[in-house]
Amino acid sequence: MKLKDYSLVFIFAAISILVNAQQKVSGTITDTSGQPLGNVEVYDKASGRLATTNLQGYYEFSTEKSVLTLVFFSYEFQIKEVQITIDDDVVLNQVLEPLGEELTAVEITARKTKVFELSRLKDVEGTAIYAGKKTEVVLVDQSMANLATNNARQIYSQVAGLNIYQNDDAGLQLNIGGRGLDPNRTANFNTRQNGYDISADVLGYPESYYSPAAEGLKEIQVIRGAASLQYGTQFGGLINFVMKAPNASKPFELITRNTLGSFGLYTNFTSVSGTKDKWSYYTFFNYKKGDGFRPNSEFESKNIYAYIGYKFNEKTRFSGEITYLNYLAQQAGGLTDDMFNEDPYQSNRARNWFEIDWLLYNFKLAHQFSDSTNFTFNFFGLNATRNALGYRSNRVDQADPETERDLIKGDFNNFGFETRLLSKYKIFNKDATFLIGSKFYKANNDQQQGPGSAGIGPNFNLQTERFPNYPDQSDFEFPNLNVAVFGENIFYLNEKFSVTPGFRFEYIKTESDGFYQRTNTDAAGNVIFQEIVEDNRDFERNFLLLGLGLSYKPNKSLEVYGNISQNYRSVTFSDINVINPSIVIDRDITDEDGFTVDLGFRGNFKQILSYDIGIFGLFYNNRLGLVPFTESGNFRQLRTNIGDATMYGVESLLDFNLKKIFKMNSDFSLNYFVNTSFIQSEYTKSQKPGVEVGNTVEFVPDVNLKTGLRFGYKNFQTSVQYTYLSSQFTDASNSTDSDLSGIIGKIPEYDILDLSFAYTYKMFKLETGVNNVLDNAYFTRRATAYPGPGIIPSAPRNWFTTLEIKF
């Protein structure tokens, strides 16, 4: 039987056992004048949200319960609670009373605000299953972070165990890892926006050069290793950026935010949104520019996002999105350890430039076949370019000779679609939820490397004819094809315990078609040998990944969860064929595989404490990494499959609602959180010189601590956050001594203190803050290529001020 036949069997089996024993509850919600109220949330007081009213004030849901206590909630109206008995279909209309006019704008806003900044996903959301998985949801609107610069240290402060490169003072790129995963451009996570892929090439080059503007985000969903079954095989899991939705209660809303900050920083974020009849829209423009905190590090960025949605009826919706980003950044280059100790903010590279041109598009169809069965179809694509230009000798203390520069041009073109069918049904008189999905993904990327101009500015045209003997030249095409089928099923053995098995079948075909130029010179620099080397590869494989999730909820305050899931990471041919003066690629390099395990408990105790405490294990086979070696008297690093490795540890988040503990009145809010991870790691098998069994895995700080206090009084809010990471290695040989390139050696321990303030008055909101209050000189990254090579310093003390006006 073919693979598609199995998919049809799964679908028909799920549909055939659907049971329609549920009763329907529906009705219309209006205000005291009889006007229908849209966007009213209808909750089961015991289990959570059931429905949301449409623009006509209508809601509908199905239930098997005989008695329900319903709560009707809207931001500008009084909460209403109604208990009903159900023995047949019920029509329940309600009238909501407006809030008293004596309430302030902040008190009304507080009705929208959750007590805790971090949330978690339910067992089922839309056409996705999260039961038994470690999930974390950053509620961006509740954050006191510097959103104008996408300050990841603050935005992700309550996501346990993340390791973040902190060298970009504008937030143009996101660099996060965790559990021993390299943070570089978040390449070890599957990164998505509203559920569709946004990286350069999901398999061939999974680096995220585009990071959504935080000011336009509703939330950020983080699902750890068990996400491999539904979203792709990456060890890190999924990061899904959920954009803000159109304002459902008015046809036009305008928000503008202007930010000034240190080092010539200026940003503008302006959005408009609304809903009219069956149409809805949300769009924004985000502009950033600045001089950077080092010489030779100016930047300018333009980002446009547009969403439009159309509701055919209560069961069928269609939406389209387009995202465009263009930015140009000067790169100050890397430093050696001696240079950093002398002056961490110096630069001896004035001709290094980086440019991104990123266009994403998406079309989504969502259809509800019944109260129990939902279907989604996502079509997405990317057309983008990336240009990197500069002098990048691995002797970073050398002055730029001001000759031709190295230029790498990347052209990324891909498209794909993902379908999902989710259905709730009964089996042996027990609840169950079934998900089946498929994904098709095709990419055709080009990459060229060769001589750039000998000038100063950002000229991204190859100068091959002018400099024919330039040694680092190549031209490759990277066609990639990926077809996947995946499925999961929640079996509720009783009201408290569920088991969720799942699978993912992958077919991957990765190709490399092109050449590179090999050039040898004598001591005087004269060419003595030159040849063109054809390098064509065809790597085809298919495999099955399996996983299992468990969830036990003895009461409303506690869930015990656990999961085990296989992972896989494809080697990136684009990295292999880039000529780097600091790195040599092993010709026998191959894919990584392994599995991830999570076990923990989480919950919310009486709105006093939100907690998530767990242990994890990440088990790698053929882990990719860097091993230092000497070639012809020159120090270099070998990128290769180092061996097998294990990472394990404890991750925890405790968030205390001190307002309730100290019985403060409604004018106040007060929360204290502590986010910690303690990780141990080691290589368990390796045959590479210099890598001993028992060596610590790179990018693993033993201690990762983030803690903070958030306080609010009426219209005023403030927060203080402290971050500490212990030292970490950057290569598998555990080198502690640095070299002339600055690319090996430890990253020393560091700590940072941040302060933020906000004040709201009617339509205005003023935000300000100071980052790195103690002005510590530190770094989080040793770059092997751009924007280095070498140590890339992090920002010194800096401030920002944002004024928001909402119409």
- In this prediction, residue 71 carries a pLDDT of 87
Q: What's the pLDDT tens digit per position in 85-95?
A: 888 889 999 99
- In this prediction, residue 199 carries a pLDDT of 93
d(CA 78, CA 81): 10
Lowest-pLDDT range of 100-109, 601-610, 703-712, 768-777 = 100-109
d(CA 612, CA 627): 36
- In this prediction, residue 582 carries a pLDDT of 67
Instruction: Kindly tell me if the per-residue pLDDT of 428 is higher than 60.
Output: yes
The mean pLDDT of 10-34, rounded to a whole number, is: 64
The proportion of the chain whose per-residue pLDDT surpasses 70, expressed as a percent, equals 92
Instruction: Kindly tell me if the per-residue pLDDT of 777 is higher than 90.
Output: yes
The proportion of the chain whose per-residue pLDDT surpasses 90, expressed as a percent, equals 67
The mean pLDDT of 546-567, rounded to a whole number, is: 95
- In this prediction, residue 525 carries a pLDDT of 65
The mean pLDDT of 431-437, rounded to a whole number, is: 96
Binned at pLDDT 50, 70 and 90, residue 422 comes out as very high
d(CA 553, CA 52): 26
Cα 619 to its chain centre, rounded Å, is 22
Binned at pLDDT 50, 70 and 90, residue 446 comes out as very high
Average pLDDT, the chain: 89
The mean pLDDT of 219-233, rounded to a whole number, is: 91
Instruction: Kindly tell me if the per-residue pLDDT of 50 is higher than 90.
Output: no
The mean pLDDT of 769-782, rounded to a whole number, is: 96
Binned at pLDDT 50, 70 and 90, residue 104 comes out as very low
d(CA 237, CA 214): 20
- Torsion-angle region of residue 314: left (phi > 0), alpha (psi -120 to 50) or beta? alpha
d(CA 796, CA 754): 12
The mean pLDDT of 528-543, rounded to a whole number, is: 85
The mean pLDDT of 495-507, rounded to a whole number, is: 96
Starting at the edge strand found earlier in the chain, the sheet holding 190-193 runs 118-119, 135-139, 217-223, 238-243, 190-193, 196-197
Q: Which residues contact 91 (CB under 8 A, 6 or more apart)?
A: 26, 27
Binned at pLDDT 50, 70 and 90, residue 115 comes out as low
Q: What's the pLDDT tens digit per position in 166-188?
A: 988 788 889 999 888 999 989 99
d(CA 280, CA 713): 35
Q: What's the pLDDT tens digit per position in 339-382?
A: 999 999 999 999 999 999 999 999 999 999 998 999 999 999 99
Q: Maximum Cα–Cα distance for the chain, whole Å? A: 93
pTM of the model: 0.87
Instruction: Kindly tell me if the per-residue pLDDT of 538 is higher than 90.
Output: no
Binned at pLDDT 50, 70 and 90, residue 330 comes out as very high
Phi and psi dihedrals of 305, rounded to 5?
-135, 140
The mean pLDDT of 34-52, rounded to a whole number, is: 79
Binned at pLDDT 50, 70 and 90, residue 111 comes out as very low
d(CA 237, CA 222): 8
Binned at pLDDT 50, 70 and 90, residue 47 comes out as low
Q: Which residues contact 633 (CB under 8 A, 6 or more apart)?
A: none
The mean pLDDT of 493-510, rounded to a whole number, is: 95
- In this prediction, residue 107 carries a pLDDT of 45
Instruction: Kindly tell me if the per-residue pLDDT of 46 is higher than 80.
Output: no
Residue labelled with tokens 């995220």: 208
Q: Which long-range contacts (C-beta less than 8 Å, at least 24 apart) are formed by 523-529? A: 527/469
Binned at pLDDT 50, 70 and 90, residue 635 comes out as low
Strands 634-657 and 583-585 come out as: parallel
Q: What's the pLDDT tens digit per position in 673-693?
A: 999 999 999 999 998 888 999
Binned at pLDDT 50, 70 and 90, residue 666 comes out as confident
**Tokens matching residue 749:** 């321990």
Instruction: Kindly tell me if the per-residue pLDDT of 21 is higher than 60.
Output: no
Residue 356 DSSP symbol: E
For 7-44, letters b (16+ CB in 10 Å) and e give beebeeebbeebeeebbebebbbbbeeeeebbbbebbb
Instruction: Kindly tell me if the per-residue pLDDT of 752 is higher than 90.
Output: yes
- In this prediction, residue 667 carries a pLDDT of 87
Instruction: Report how far apart the first and last C-alpha atoms of the chain are (Å, whole number).
Output: 59
- In this prediction, residue 142 carries a pLDDT of 85
For 287, what's the count of Cα atoms within 13 Å in the CB-facing half-sphere?
7
- In this prediction, residue 390 carries a pLDDT of 95
| SS3 assignment, position 10 | helix
Phi and psi dihedrals of 743, rounded to 5?
-90, -10
